[in-house]
Structure 1
Amino acid sequence: MDFWKLFIVALLPVLKVLLITAVGTILAINRLNILGETARKNLNTMVFYVFSPTLVCSSLAETITLENVLILWFMPVNILLTFVIGSVLGLLVVKLTRVPHHLQGLVLGCCAAGNLGNLPIILVPAVCKQSGSPFGDVNVCYKNALAYASLSMALGSVYIWSYAYNLVRLYSPKISNEVKVDDNSVVENPVSTTKSDPENPSTFSTELPFVSADDRSQTEDHVKHFEIQCTGHNGQVEEVSKNRTIMNHLIILVQKVNLKVLFTPSTIGAIIGLIIGVVPQFRKLLVGDNATLRVVEDSVIMVGYACIPVMTLLVGANLIKGLNGLGKQLPLIIGVTMVRCIVLPAIGIGVVKGVVRLGLIHPDPLYEFLLLLQFALPPAVAMSTITQLFGAGEGECSVIMLATYSCAAVSVTLWSTFYMWLVL
């Protein structure tokens, strides 16, 4: 394929996303008000609890087998690297642009979390369908592309809802009645209040996110009791080993950690999907045309297909709130756009080509192309859903999405074209 054909193939998926985003914006204008504030919040909740978990579960169950897991072992590591490197670059943006505290989670999340779902699952298989595909036989290429992109989408969803979700959660005004530290290093615990929370619609504690107030008081009592035991009895402190002290504190921490925060619905969906895909008995029962419970999988797939268009529509709907603040947050927007569209894709070349030279992954141009592409994607549309859930930087997130996806129409296209040339 020549340059212009590669360019068109790479451009179409981005244009599809922009068109659906525009529809969401139109549906949210005051005259129509189809996607008003209440509707957006309800749809965000549906995405979080229903659409995203079912999409991840069905994609993994259909395309991942034990053999695939062994071959594609580097993809989770590669996605983790995109998040880690993106977070470091995001910290630089935060420092350089002096981002307000309540927006820092948004900036870090947008720099770290790329659109690992709908763009790869549209773009990569589309390359295979083109006449004269550079990746060999059309049917084999399409099947592999779908498997690679599905795994990327599932892993991306797990990372986004486990990492980016908690970043925004930590910096959200609803969560962080910030812990204040005075000159004497005295830490005041924030007062527990009741607010709305996507994980618990009725209550929400503004305490530190992983430990509740009751758990913290129990922990403090336990520590005080432990200190009394250690310092009493004629100063027999030396009898208590340091290792045991550390172990006791670790046990207390593990007991008090709120696992509900870590295991989001999408994470649970990914675990279930992996189990179904990898365990032959479950796969035979649920996956395939001859499966006994095929109807169950078909139902889950139907529900999951709603995730991508709904999230993309919500991005467009949220633009209404953000367009007025475009000038106020211009340095922030430029910083995030440069990270996602220029710096991170360039770093990705060094990471992936270095791994290929070391022989750590199997030689497959299509697989290498997807690994490179994961560094060049605009922010995940789920960031819009997450900010809506916590009410933290919804308008700013919308403007960031508008800016990055507008630039992505060019940057993703150019980087994709260059990546194809690089791996072939």
Structure 2
Amino acid sequence: MKMKLLQLFITASIPVLKTLLITALGSYLATERVNILGEDTRKHLNSVAFFVFNPALVGSSLAETITYDSMIKLWFMPVNILLTFVVGSIFGWILNLLTRTPPHLRGLIMGFCAAGNLGNLLLIIIPAVCKEKGSPFGAADVCYTSGMAYASLSMAISAVYLWSYVYNIMRIASKRNTLDQDTIQSLERSSITNQIMAPPGKLKNRVMKVVKKLNLETIFSPSIVAAIIGFVIGVVPPVRKVFIDDGAPLRVINDTVSLLGGGAIPTVTLIIGGNLLKGLRGSGIQTSLVIGVIIVRYVALPLTGILIVKGAMKFGLVHSDPLYLFVLLLQFSLPPAVNIATITQLFGAGEKECSVIMLWTYVLASVALTFWSAFFMWLVV
């Protein structure tokens, strides 16, 4: 049954408003007059979220909601998320070419275009949509259970892609920030020439140097390690009986981790609000870059997502659960991942530019995300 468009907009707007209210509180707490979330406080709190809250949320959510049977059923979701990153990266690369992005910001722009908020926002949006009166996804309790499984898997998979792919793009970009533009361009031209002219032996040495530079500690971040542990606990029945099932002897461990994970979403959202103050002060960033990221995230990616998900449905790659299809589509229309700000603060490169882009993408998210959520509901129901 097709719901009225106005009712769909109301249902879709509630989760976005919740996020905006917490973000506004973070901005207020970070003002000079209040100064509860000052810059140093945000950095320390950011480290706590990175090492404790986010891994706890990823691990506990997966352990509780993912099973072997659900993994078989949801096999297309990791592919779908990978496509959001790949397509977003391509759009980001094109945007860098069109706007002649400064070299030290190229990785940041590609990160914004590639990585959406596939964890925190879905964990807020999906339960809110399920519990909202007039939800098109059936009984609230059934919708909630399935929705949390979808959102948890989305969060875990996106964490793997974010901290292995986007993290390293931005890490490399932060190092290039110390070089002047002429030197960078010279190195790029030299690199291209060497790649064309180098014999197989030199090419092999170059590949080995790149492999050695990839620090496993940066690839296997706390969230990724937690995701692996969560998968093992959830998917392996004997391990699940020890930690998750009713009467499990070590259930207290999972309950404790879950309690810690509950602090991730409000903490990270408050940090976003504090960081957005920098965006209000401006940074001298090109207006075309901000507009370009907005167009990629809220126009190009959602339209591409519709084509991909519709194509997957046509070829029988996904089951016809409306909530599942809704989540797959929503993964293409979310604002940038909040952990991009975390990564930026860790490296200390492009923080002001990051804040400006975060400010405008999250301000416009209230409109864009509500529109796309309502449209996707109409599309799948």
Q: TM-score, normalised by structure 2?
A: 0.90
Q: How many residues align?
A: 370
How far apart are the structure 2 equivalents of 1:341 and 1:262?
Answer: 29
Equivalence for 2:136: 134
Look up the match of 2:85. Answer: 83
Structure 2, unaligned runs of 5 or more:
192-198
Q: After alignment, is 25-34 or 364-373 more displaced?
A: 25-34
User: Could you list the per-position Cα deviations for residues 189-248 of structure 1 after superposition, in whole angstroms to 9, with x for gaps in the alignment?
Assistant: xxxxxxxxxxxxxxxxxxxxxxxxxxxxxxxxxxxxxx9xxxxxxxxxxxxxx8x99989
Matched, 1:299 2:256: yes
Runs of 5+ unmatched residues, structure 1 = 188-226, 228-241
Deviations 1:161-212 (A, max 9, x none): 222222211101477658757599767xxxxxxxxxxxxxxxxxxxxxxxxx
**What is the alpha-carbon distance in structure 1 between the residues aligned to residue 154 and residue 90 of structure 2?**
22
Q: Distance in 1 between matches of 2:70 and 2:221?
A: 25
Question: 1:48 aligns to what?
Answer: 50
Match of 2:375 among 397, 401, 418: 418
Q: Is the 8 A contact 2:150 2:324 kept in 1?
A: yes
Judged with a 3 Å threshold, the aligned counterparts in structure 2 of structure 1 residues 25 and 345 are, in CA distance, closer, same or farther, namely same
Distance 1:281 1:93, change over 3 A: same
Does the CA contact (< 8 Å) of 2:105 and 2:173 recur in 1?
yes
Match of 1:379 among 327, 336, 355: 336
Query: Rg larger in 1 or in 2?
Result: 1
CA distance in 2, matches of 1:185, 1:335: 26
Structure 1 pair 314/89, CA: closer, same or farther in 2 (3 Å)? same
Structure 1 residue 97 and structure 2 residue 54: aligned? Answer: no
Correspondence for 1:110 among 109, 112, 120:
112
Q: Which residue, out of 229, 241, 247, partners 1:290?
A: 247
**Pair 1:29–1:145, CA change in 2 (3 A):** same
- 2:168 pairs, out of 166, 169, 178, with 166
How far residue 36 of structure 1 moved from its aligned partner, in angstroms, is 1.5
Tell me by how many angstroms 1:137 deviates.
3.0
Distance 1:288 1:171 in 2: 45
Distance 2:175 2:148 in 1: 40
Residue number in structure 1 paired with 2:196: none
Residue of structure 1 equivalent to 2:33 = 31
Farther-moved stretch of structure 1 (365-374 vs 41-50): 41-50
> Partner of 1:145 in structure 2?
147
Q: Is contact 2:118–2:154 with CA below 8 Å preserved after alignment?
A: yes
Shift of 1:249: 8.3
The answer to whether the 8 Å contact 2:14/2:128 transfers is no
The amino acid of 1:161's aligned partner reads W
Counterpart CA distance in 2 for 1:302 and 1:326 is 38
Q: Aligned partners of 2:27 and 2:131: how far apart in 1?
A: 31
Which residue does the alignment assign to 1:64?
Answer: 66
Show the counterpart of 2:353. Answer: 396
Partner of 1:74: 76
Amino acid at match of 1:337: I
Query: CA, structure 1 residues 182+408, in 2 after alignment: closer, same or farther (shift >3 Å)?
Result: closer
Q: In the alignment, is the contact (CA less than 8 A) between 2:115 and 2:337 conserved in 1?
A: yes
Question: For residue 300 of structure 2, what is the aligned residue in structure 1?
Answer: 343
The answer to whether the 8 Å contact 1:86/1:339 transfers is: yes
1:312-391 equivalences under 5 Å are 312-325=269-282, 328-391=285-348
Q: Kindly report structure 1 stretches of 4+ aligned residues shifted beyond 6 Å.
A: 183-187, 244-253
* Equivalences for residues 224-303 of structure 1 within 5 A: 257-303=214-260
Q: Equivalents in 1 of 2:187, 2:83: separation in Å?
A: 37
CA shift in 2, pair 1:375/1:255, >3 Å: closer
**Distance change (3 Å), C-alpha of 1:327 and 1:66:** same
CA distance in 2, matches of 1:175, 1:184: 14
Tell me, in whole angstroms, the C-alpha distance in 2 between the residues paired with 1:143 and 1:280: 19
Partner of 1:237: none
CA deviation vs aligned residue, 1:361-392 (integer Å, no higher than 9, x gap) = 12211111100000010111111111111111
Post-superposition CA distance 1:81-124 (Å, at most 9, x none) = 00010111111221222221222111111111111112212222
Secondary structure of 1:266 counterpart: helix
What letter is aligned with 1:46? Answer: V
Distance 2:230 2:100 in 1: 41
Task: Describe the shift of the 1:246–1:32 C-alpha distance in structure 2 as closer, same or farther (beyond 3 A).
Answer: closer
SS at match of 2:133: coil
Q: Is the CA contact (8 Å cut-off) linking 1:319 and 1:395 kept in structure 2?
A: no
Does structure 2 retain, via aligned residues, the 8 Å contact 1:322–1:394? no
Report the aligned-residue RMSD.
Answer: 2.5
Aligned to 2:195: none
User: Quick one: structure 1 residues 288 and 102, their matched pair in 2 at CA, closer, same or farther if it must change by over 3 Å?
Assistant: same
Equivalent position amino acid for 1:141 in 2: C
Describe the SS at the equivalent of 1:105: helix
Quick one: percent identity of the two aligned structures? 56
Tell me if the contact between 1:314 and 1:385 (Cα under 8 Å) persists in the aligned partners: no
The alpha-carbon deviation at position 260 of structure 1 amounts to 1.6
Inter-partner Cα distance in structure 2 for 1:407 and 1:9: 18
